Amino acid sequence: MPMTRAQCLEADKIDPLARYRDAFVLPPDTIYLDGNSLGPLPKAVAGCLHDTVVEQWGQGLIGSWNDHDWIGLAERLGEKIAPLIGAGPGQVIVADSVSVNLYKLLATALSLRPGRTIILSSEDNFPTDLYIAQGLTALLGRERCELVILEGSRLMKAIGANTAVVMLTHVDFRSGRLYDMQSITQQVHDAGALMLWDLSHSTGALPLKLDAFDVDLAVGSGYKYLNGGPGAPAFLYVAARHLGNATQPLRGWMGHAEPFAFRPGYEPAPGILRFQSGTPPILSYRALEAALALWDNVDLDQLRDKSVLLSETFIELVQASEVLSDFVLNSPREAAERGSQVSFAHPLGYAIMRALIDRRVIGDFREPNLLRFGLAPMYTRYVDVWDAVAHLDGVMLNREYDTPEFREQPRVT
Ligand X SMILES: *Cc1c(COP(=O)(O)O)cnc(C)c1O
CB of 322 to ligand X, least distance (A): 34
Q: How far apart are CA 97 and CA 119, in angstroms?
A: 20
Which of 64, 91, 169, 175 contacts ligand X by CB under 6 A? 169
The interface with ligand X within residues 170-229 (CB under 6 A) comprises 173, 198, 200-201, 221
Q: How far is the CB of 347 from ligand X (least distance, A)?
A: 25
SS3 76: helix
Cα separation, 291 vs 163, whole angstroms: 38
Between 121 and 380, name the residue whose CB sits nearer to ligand X: 121
CB of 127 to ligand X, least distance (A): 8
Report the residue from 11, 31, 81, 98 that binds ligand X according to the rule CB under 6 A.
98
Shortest distance, CB of residue 317 to ligand X, whole angstroms? 26
> Which of 129, 198, 216, 384 does the annotation list as catalytic?
198
From CA 22, how far away is CA 407, in angstroms rounded? 35
How does DSSP classify residue 407? G
CA angle 200, 203, 207 (to 5 degrees): 140
Asked whether position 321 contacts ligand X by CB under 6 A, the answer is: no
Is 198 one of the catalytic residues? yes
**Residues between 121 and 160 with contacts to ligand X, criterion CB under 6 A:** 126, 128-129
Cα–Cα distance, 70 to 39 (Å, whole number): 24
- Of 13 and 411, which has the nearer Cβ to ligand X? 411
How many helices and strands (H and E) does the chain possess? Answer: 13, 15
The residue among 228 and 349 lying less far from ligand X, judged by its C-beta, is 228
| Helix 73-81 and helix 282-292, axial crossing angle in degrees, nearest 10 | 30
Piece of the chain touching ligand X by CB under 6 A; list 96-104, 243-251, 310-318, 320-328: 96-104
Give, as ranges, the residues between 228 and 287 that touch ligand X (CB under 6 A).
234
**Of 20, 32, 103, 126, which residue is the catalytic one?**
126
Active site residue 372: yes
Nearest Cα neighbor of 202 from 167, 177, 182 is 177
**Order of strands, edge to edge, in the sheet holding 194-198?**
92-94, 235-238, 217-220, 194-198, 163-169, 118-122, 146-150
Tell me which residues touch ligand X (CB under 6 A).
97-99, 126, 128-129, 169, 173, 198, 200-201, 221, 234
Return the active site residues. Answer: 126, 198, 223-224, 372
